[in-house]
A and B are shown apart, each in its own frame.
Chain A
């Protein structure tokens, strides 16, 4: 089944403790992206990747890192989480980077930073 898989589904952590949210897609998609969803703000892009070893900042990249060493994986790294990073995170992918391509979303990771 074609899908984007995120782990974990729920995560509670404390300020400053490094964490990684994993994202994997099985559709051989070139383009991958991370969004955060906050009430009243919709989804905002954190980082994106157009292909292996090609990543760039989205609209809200502060406090986050990503890497794209393999085509299928695009982990999101929080080196020193802070409470303002408490949010619902989504990984998404599309076949190509072109505008208009359908985005496939993972089921989300609810992160709470205490």
Chain B
């Protein structure tokens, strides 16, 4: 079975500071990994994903994540936070069975203050 653990339900950073949102996963098969973002009162949007190939993947709005198999991690970073990045971020892994079922973490709410 697959599972996702997001460390820290709330993260607060200053505008312009580094953002680091942590995600660890468990999977019995090679994982596909995702980060989705949920802005207030909206549905989730895909930020980036890792399937195969390059382990450092870049997404929208300056975000990137690195797949580290040895650490079973897929942490999300942004070198410079903007006020508009305030949202809830979900890490997800594909479930077993080969179809498009995502197992989500509990989410991390990012606050950006001036």
CB within 8 Å for A99 and B100 given contacts A4-B43, A40-B106, A107-B41: yes
* Contact across chains for A42 and B43 when beta carbons are under 8 A apart: no
What range describes how many residues of B lie at the interface?
Answer: 20 to 34
Q: B residues near A, CB below 8 A?
A: 4, 9, 32, 36, 41-46, 49, 51, 90, 94, 98-102, 104-107
Q: Is A22 an interface residue (CB 8 A)?
A: no
Distance in angstroms from A112 CB to nearest chain B CB is 16
Q: Which of A13-21, A64-72, A79-87, A90-98 contacts B (4 or more CB under 8 A)?
A: A90-98
* Contact across chains for B100 and A106 when beta carbons are under 8 A apart: no
Distance in angstroms from B96 CB to nearest chain A CB is 9
* Contact across chains for A107 and B43 when beta carbons are under 8 A apart: yes
* Contact across chains for A43 and B104 when beta carbons are under 8 A apart: yes
In chain A, positions 27-73 with a C-beta closer than 8 Å to chain B are 31, 33, 35, 40-45, 48, 50, 58
Q: Is A11 an interface residue (CB 8 A)?
A: no
Cross-chain pairs A/B with CB under 8 angstroms, 26 sampled: A31-B100, A33-B101, A35-B104, A41-B106, A42-B105, A42-B106, A45-B101, A48-B99, A58-B101, A90-B43, A92-B43, A92-B44, A94-B100, A96-B100, A98-B100, A99-B99, A99-B101, A100-B32, A100-B94, A102-B49, A103-B102, A105-B44, A105-B45, A106-B43, A107-B41, A108-B43
Identify 10 new A-B residue pairs, CB closer than 8 A, beyond the known A96-B100, A103-B102: A31-B99, A33-B100, A35-B104, A40-B9, A42-B90, A43-B102, A99-B101, A102-B49, A103-B36, A108-B43
Chain B residues closer than 8 Å to A41, beta-carbon distance: 106
